[in-house]
Structure 1
């Protein structure tokens, strides 16, 4: 795709990066076939190719409008199109640039600005935990829309006290400890059973995704730098790497090297952090031989929903199903639209609830057919956002797959 950048974008980091991405696009339209919003709305401008044209027009000097902003906002950033694209177009990076340029020129309504500010400041805040506990206490009294965002209180379980020669850093995350604390402790117990100790860097916080994708890119990058500062002494001391058990966070941390590439103080460290970051599922090839004799298998039918951040953001597919099966679990991915987003997509379910819930219900319908006429006994996933979102629409229990493995080890 040929692009003639407007003079004020020529020679800028954003302009150069966007132009390089645009030149890879060949207009083929394969991306529209796998785009969730295009499938629901049927509008070319609500598909990747249409959004690419909108961003191209802005880069070439056309003034963006509120309509431009809305079409970009409606993108889930699921990156399914990247998995489909035969030309390797890095659509996610282009969208980050496009949203930044459009928001700088198109003022948002006051109510929308207030909601986005509350999300980007509230979710990573230390006050989120107390607020979630209050919400859980009042949950029966809350309207359905809020109940969907407030899961019932969950015990965290014991954290291993043993020390091991092998150590890895874990990112606890900003919302996961309050919404589903057992995921972190289950991860620690599973790795402990394999002789690996989890270390938490006290000053590490939100991965930066919430602010970055709500177009507070400077705020998101500040959180990324803070995490690098918190992790760096441990990495220098010999910790093997960083294990992430929320795939949305993992996809972001693996992108630190790209996001901070122009920061002279952090570029090299960010690149190294990204190289050392692995989703917990990437440890399964090593864990399976060590845990196989300790796991009590289960005959329960488990439908696995691979989050977009796992299968498209990190390009990790099939690993959870393969290795959990080797450990004796009856786990299977649905044969219908497994590639499509469930509609959670970070803060998307709050900002675009109608589309989000349509995608959730579509996903749950497909998951219910994973084992044919018999519904699954449980649904497993790999990201706190997907787990909470899916659970809001079904009575079937939804958990992180690491919790299933941990439970089998306890038995």
Structure 2
């Protein structure tokens, strides 16, 4: 793509980066085939290629964004399916991030939009506030039909029927096995600590069972993704994590930072880029380099994916529909590890059609764009249920909440199933009702 940034503009490192990314686009349109919003809306401006044109015009001319441009940029999920598809290696992730930050500083949204986004930024990254908000949403849910804004209705509907009690394992501490072979820091997250405490509990049990010392570091918290994707500053959250893990590494040594929420993992692995040229550049790059999804760490511990499972476990042969979260398959390019681990543990793993397409969760997207999100959820649930699974597994809390709100099939984290198969308790989602029996799937 031809660009026309001035020499003065290109002295700004962010503009120079945008110029480089824009010039790598060759207009081929391959991205439109895998873009969920283009699939649903059919508008060229709701495809990566269309948004790239809008971003080019906005940044090159340094103009105040208009409502139409903002609308189409807001509709982007940041699922990064286009990045996986692009034959030219266009770094769309960092381009859309820069565009959102530009919109945030140059465009004045309507007051109700500003208020809504400010509330989300002030609540979601803080587990205590988020838990209180969930309680309030649960109480107000019966009155949601009286709310004029569909986004407010979506917020009330997001609250789970049961808000889990706070887990003491999320507090700063160390979990030391009898014979440690590795020491890692576990990111316990923010929304996950309010929505589903079983995931961190299962991760800690599984890793210590495998001889890994697990540290919940003092001072670590939200990764920053929730505010980052709204164009707001996320560096404060990220810097706190970098300092906490760097200090922990210096004090007792760390073999890695393990993350069981793939949306967070994609962001933490990008800390090196986010802090390039700053005082934290070296520490940020080191943290990014040592960050692993839980499935990546498990593959390091068991390269052949053969965890020490119970050979006569009652769950052997259970049909699992595996949903690959966008942030895991596109953001981190982790595609095979979760499936291999589940299959080696004894589950029958089934993959839905169009597995590359987003479920519509995407951080705060299901709250800010409920109509598009709902349409994507309906499509995703249909492809998963077509597999006649007994359980659905995913590696991201946002996907789990989104899919779980649209199906009666139990939805659990991949690590919960692996913990169960290696001696842990039955996942809570599988204890309330009898498991659905698999329906024979006709194959040609």
CA–CA separation in structure 2 for the residues paired with 1:101 and 1:317? 32
1:337 aligned to 2:348?
no
Question: After the TM superposition, which residues 60-139 of structure 1 pair with which residues of structure 2 at under 5 Å, given as runs?
Answer: 60-61=60-61, 63=63, 64-132=65-133, 134-135=135-136, 138=139
Is the Cα contact below 8 Å between 1:307 and 1:341 reproduced in 2? yes
Is the Cα contact below 8 Å between 1:174 and 1:205 reproduced in 2? yes
Name the SS of the counterpart of 1:104 in structure 2.
Answer: helix
- Name the CA shift for 1:68/1:238 in 2 (closer, same or farther; >3 Å): same
- Higher mean alpha-carbon deviation, 340-349 vs 115-124, is at 115-124
CA–CA separation in structure 2 for the residues paired with 1:142 and 1:201? 41
Is the Cα contact below 8 Å between 2:25 and 2:88 reproduced in 1? yes
- Higher mean alpha-carbon deviation, 239-248 vs 156-165, is at 156-165
Structure 1 spans left out of the alignment, 5+ residues:
none
1:273 aligned to 2:290?
no
1:150 aligned to 2:150?
no
Give 1:128 shift.
2.3
Name the SS of the counterpart of 1:410 in structure 2.
Answer: coil
CA–CA separation in structure 2 for the residues paired with 1:126 and 1:337? 33
- Higher mean alpha-carbon deviation, 79-88 vs 6-15, is at 6-15
CA–CA separation in structure 1 for the residues paired with 2:4 and 2:203? 49
Partner of 1:406: 419
Give 1:9 shift.
2.5
CA–CA separation in structure 2 for the residues paired with 1:104 and 1:139? 33
Is the Cα contact below 8 Å between 2:323 and 2:393 reproduced in 1? yes
CA–CA separation in structure 2 for the residues paired with 1:386 and 1:378? 14
- Name the CA shift for 1:290/1:318 in 2 (closer, same or farther; >3 Å): closer
- Name the CA shift for 1:115/1:26 in 2 (closer, same or farther; >3 Å): same
Partner of 2:323: 305
CA–CA separation in structure 1 for the residues paired with 2:59 and 2:100? 12
Is the Cα contact below 8 Å between 1:32 and 1:49 reproduced in 2? yes
CA–CA separation in structure 1 for the residues paired with 2:332 and 2:7? 35
Name the SS of the counterpart of 1:148 in structure 2.
Answer: helix
Is the Cα contact below 8 Å between 2:306 and 2:344 reproduced in 1? no
CA–CA separation in structure 1 for the residues paired with 2:35 and 2:91? 15
CA–CA separation in structure 1 for the residues paired with 2:154 and 2:57? 37
Deviations, residues 159-213 of structure 1 (Å, cap 9, x unaligned): 5954453211001101111110000010000101101121101210100111111
4+ residue stretches of structure 1 with deviation over 4 A? 139-142, 155-162
Which one of the candidate residues 174, 181, 185 is aligned to 2:201? Answer: 185
Partner of 2:4: 4
Deviations, residues 119-148 of structure 1 (Å, cap 9, x unaligned): 111111253254156348748746474453
Name the SS of the counterpart of 2:185 in structure 1.
Answer: strand
Give 1:238 shift.
1.3
Is the Cα contact below 8 Å between 1:193 and 1:291 reproduced in 2? no
Is the Cα contact below 8 Å between 1:79 and 1:91 reproduced in 2? yes
Is the Cα contact below 8 Å between 1:148 and 1:388 reproduced in 2? no
- Name the CA shift for 1:404/1:132 in 2 (closer, same or farther; >3 Å): farther
Question: After the TM superposition, which residues 228-247 of structure 1 pair with which residues of structure 2 at under 5 Å, given as runs?
Answer: 228-236=242-250, 237-247=252-262
CA–CA separation in structure 1 for the residues paired with 2:83 and 2:154? 32
The root-mean-square deviation of aligned C-alpha atoms, in Å, is 2.1
Is the Cα contact below 8 Å between 1:303 and 1:367 reproduced in 2? yes
- Higher mean alpha-carbon deviation, 1-10 vs 293-302, is at 293-302
Partner of 2:429: none
Deviations, residues 104-126 of structure 1 (Å, cap 9, x unaligned): 32210000000111111111125
Is the Cα contact below 8 Å between 1:245 and 1:279 reproduced in 2? yes
Question: After the TM superposition, which residues 143-222 of structure 1 pair with which residues of structure 2 at under 5 Å, given as runs?
Answer: 143=144, 145-146=154-155, 148-151=157-160, 152-154=162-164, 162-163=176-177, 164-165=179-180, 166-217=182-233, 220-222=234-236
Q: Normalized against structure 1, the TM-score is what?
A: 0.93
Structure 2 spans left out of the alignment, 5+ residues:
145-152, 426-444
Is the Cα contact below 8 Å between 1:156 and 1:182 reproduced in 2? no
- Higher mean alpha-carbon deviation, 265-274 vs 7-16, is at 7-16
1:393 aligned to 2:406?
yes
CA–CA separation in structure 2 for the residues paired with 1:146 and 1:215? 20
CA–CA separation in structure 1 for the residues paired with 2:396 and 2:312? 23
CA–CA separation in structure 2 for the residues paired with 1:221 and 1:295? 48
Q: Normalized against structure 2, the TM-score is what?
A: 0.86
Is the Cα contact below 8 Å between 2:176 and 2:214 reproduced in 1? no
Give 1:298 shift.
2.4
Q: How many residues align?
A: 403
Partner of 2:440: none
